[in-house]
Each structure stands twice: as structure tokens, then as C-alpha cells.
Structure 1
């Protein structure tokens, strides 16, 4: 199979590059429809984007499953982890545990620039006054820089997590890049069944009702009957950190403020 080349070329506008990526994603989504997660990951990592794809992981509540699936295909796959400086200590410990357990050899921990924090969030309370900007400087910008020249990346998002993700495709355009969502069709029961089948450890906060885990100040327990992500930014209209919002990772936005 011919490998797609969606790396933006010199002189190609961001809009044109995004248009090409969207078209390619639609083609790949139709071509690989119905494949299971492992087959999708193998196609993406070993064929379509061989040596040019990274997994972005929060090492959160569901992360062990996708990390295990990718490690089974190729444990040298780059894994990008954004340490925002506001994460639970349990998440950092869980990251180290999974890296050792799964034999991941290329985990890249990145974080916000100190000068940006000093200028925009010197007291570490920006999450209260402007959570969008806080997410921007602590997560979106570091990831945009780390993703660099990768033309594709793997995400662990799933349709069941909230209404915003209900129509999530397996392949989607993300600016000039392709985003692969191999677990898009999985349910919460699917995730838990896989975790138990393969003896994967649970994030230590899940047992306390944290079903989606991000930064400590903006993560709350989920109540019975709520969406798994209902505990994120509790009481606000905000539902996403920004890395999955269309256009947030495009070249003209990378490294910029809000």
C-alpha cells in the first residue's frame, strides 16, 4: 500500500494543507472501516505512517489499554506525554509504572515553557480565571511543539465519553495532520474487559470515582449516571482542553497565545 504523505510542503497554505488532510482522512476512514483496534494500529504504525506517527497519552483513566495495544505492535513508537505542572502525583507514578510494564522505549515528557508561565500564570491560579488560556499554555502549546513534523498521531478518544465525541471517526483531519482514533467505537465495558483480560493496572484514582483524569484543579469525581468526562471543568461550559478542537494544532496557532 502506498504510504500517504501529508507533511505540509513549503508554500502550501495552512488551509490547503488542512483540506488535503481532511480528504485523506475521509479516504482512510472509509478504507479501514470495520477493522478492529489492533489492525488499525498496525496499519497506522507499520504501514501508513511508518516511523512518522506518535501516540499522545495522558496516562489517565483509560490510557493503559491503548498503550498496551500500541506496545504489542511496536514498543518503540514515540509516546508524547504532556506534564502540565498541575497533574495528580498519582498520574506521574502511573506513567512510570506503565512505561516499565509495557516496555515503552520512547516516551517523551514535555511541558509548558517557564517564561510563558512566569508571564501568564505566575501564581498558578490561571485555571480559575481563564481555563482556556491555562490549557493553551500548559498543554496545547507544548504538544504542538512536541508533535513537530509527525504527519499523524494516535488518540485514545472514544464516542461514549461525551456528546462532543459522539460522531468521532477513526481517521480524522487535524489541521495538516491525520489523527487516528482506534478506540473510537469502544464502550466503557470494552475498555474495562480488555484491561482485565490483559492484567493491566488501573489508574489509582479510578476507584475513587475519577473516570477522566486531567489536571488536579480541574478534575472532579463523576457522579452515577453522568458522562465519564463530567468531572472535567465541573460547573463550566468547557468540555475539552483544546488539543482536540479543530485548528488548535495548525501551524499558525502552534506556540501562540489566545
Structure 2
């Protein structure tokens, strides 16, 4: 068991490492950042976390160019649009990704808090915790770092993210932090990347079906998530670690 003081020391060392990595690699292009992270800094100890959403193809394409065998963690919440699951399979085949892992919530957690499948309506924060946060912790077991596709233009908590950050005992890599929507669309065209089928219908950010709506671009790319609620993040990018003790 790690004592609190020792745990604080580990956090300090991790934050310092993230700071040094930012200084050394933060100004590199996205492919260079990924190449360094996957092949040098965290060789064999890094994974990508992808929702296979509206913009996911750009990051996954860059990863595939560096190493298509990089582990990809997909949180199979059981609440995705059917189109998202089909798109996942399409992208995996198109990019030649060979190590995609689908991680689901445990049967015990669902029986405890979401036996009827409507927890998203009663308590969306707890629903995200059981279906995303806790499965992610299991999915990242054994990895020292993970790559995600957050971008500063998405606003909110994402507005000032660095390329490298310390988060809950791991280094989080944000290689697309500085990208804007125009660059994303340009890469989709240049690389011939397939689009998520719901993007053409006006879905700007695509998560679980019950909590995703068509967005208003003027209100931000994530305006269609959890509409009408004071919620902008599912929790996987927020600490501290989720606790199972909160009642539904």
C-alpha cells in the first residue's frame, strides 16, 4: 500500500516528467510527437483511447502511420449508436489497426446501479463513471501513458491543455491539442478518411446515444453532448479516480 506522502511524491515526479516532455516535444508536429511517444519514450507501455467519434479518424490515422499495432482502447459502454460500432469496424479495417480492445462495464457494476439501463437519465455522472471511467482504468492497466484526441478549440476544460500532462498516475499525450476544425477537415480530405455516418446529419461530437444530440457549431463542437445539463465531460479526463461507493 502506497502511503499518502509517497503517493504525493510520485505525483510530483510525474508532473515534472510531463513538464520536461512538454519542453522537449511539445513544439513538434503531431506525427513526430506520436513517433517519439510510441517508439521511444513509452515503447510498449502506451495505448490510444478512442471513441471512434466524429473526429477520431484523424488521430487513428496518424497512429497507424507510426505503428498500426499500437493498442487502441475502445470503451464499449453498451449505449453507443449502431452507426458508431459500424464505423469502428470500418476504420479498423481501413487503417489496418491490429490491436483494438473493447472494454465494457462489469456486470456487477451494472447490476448494482443500472439494472434497468436508465441510469443515464437519473444520474448521468454515475452512468459515465460505471460505463467509461472505471472500464478505462481497467483498460489502461499495465500502461504508463495514453494518447487521446482532445483539442483546445473544443473549449471548456480543454481550452488550455498541453501536449503532455500528468493525470492519475500516467502521462496523457494530446498530440492534436493545437489543431483547429479546418485542419481536421483538410486531413480528412487529403488522406481520404471515411467520415462517421452521423457527422453528415449534424452530429458534431458523438458519444453514447441517449446523451448525444445534434450540435450547434456556434455553441462549440461539443454543444450536442448532455444538452440541458450542467455537464460537459464524461469524467475520463477529470480526476480524481472514480469511487464505486456513490449511490445511484
Matched, 1:92 2:81: no
Question: By how many angstroms is 1:18 displaced?
Answer: 2.0
Matched, 1:193 2:193: no
Alignment of 1:49-128 (within 5 A): 49-128=42-121
| 8 Å CA contact 2:26, 2:164 repeated in 1 | no
Q: Runs of 5+ in structure 2 lacking a partner? A: none
Question: By how many angstroms is 1:175 displaced?
Answer: 1.5
Which residue is equivalent to 2:39? 46
Which residue is equivalent to 2:143? 150
Matched, 1:239 2:221: no
Matched, 1:138 2:131: yes
Which residue is equivalent to 1:256? 244
Question: By how many angstroms is 1:226 displaced?
Answer: 1.4
| 8 Å CA contact 1:58, 1:81 repeated in 2 | yes
Which residue is equivalent to 1:4? none
Which residue is equivalent to 2:160? 167
Count of paired positions: 245
| 8 Å CA contact 2:120, 2:211 repeated in 1 | yes
**Alpha-carbon distance in structure 2 between the residues aligned to 1:15 and 1:219:** 37
Which residue is equivalent to 1:37? 30
In terms of fraction of residues, the more helix-rich structure is: 2
Which has the larger displacement, 26-35 or 71-80? 26-35
**Alpha-carbon distance in structure 2 between the residues aligned to 1:243 and 1:33:** 22
Matched, 1:26 2:37: no
| 8 Å CA contact 2:204, 2:217 repeated in 1 | no
Matched, 1:227 2:220: yes
| 8 Å CA contact 1:83, 1:110 repeated in 2 | yes
> 1:101-127: per-residue Cα shift (whole Å, max 9, x none)?
111110000100011111200111111
Q: Runs of 5+ in structure 1 lacking a partner? A: 1-8
| 8 Å CA contact 1:64, 1:98 repeated in 2 | yes
**Alpha-carbon distance in structure 2 between the residues aligned to 1:257 and 1:177:** 24
In the superposition, the TM-score normalised over structure 1's length comes to 0.91
Which has the larger displacement, 9-18 or 153-162? 9-18
Question: By how many angstroms is 1:150 displaced?
Answer: 0.4
Over the residues paired in the alignment, what is the CA RMSD in angstroms? Answer: 1.5
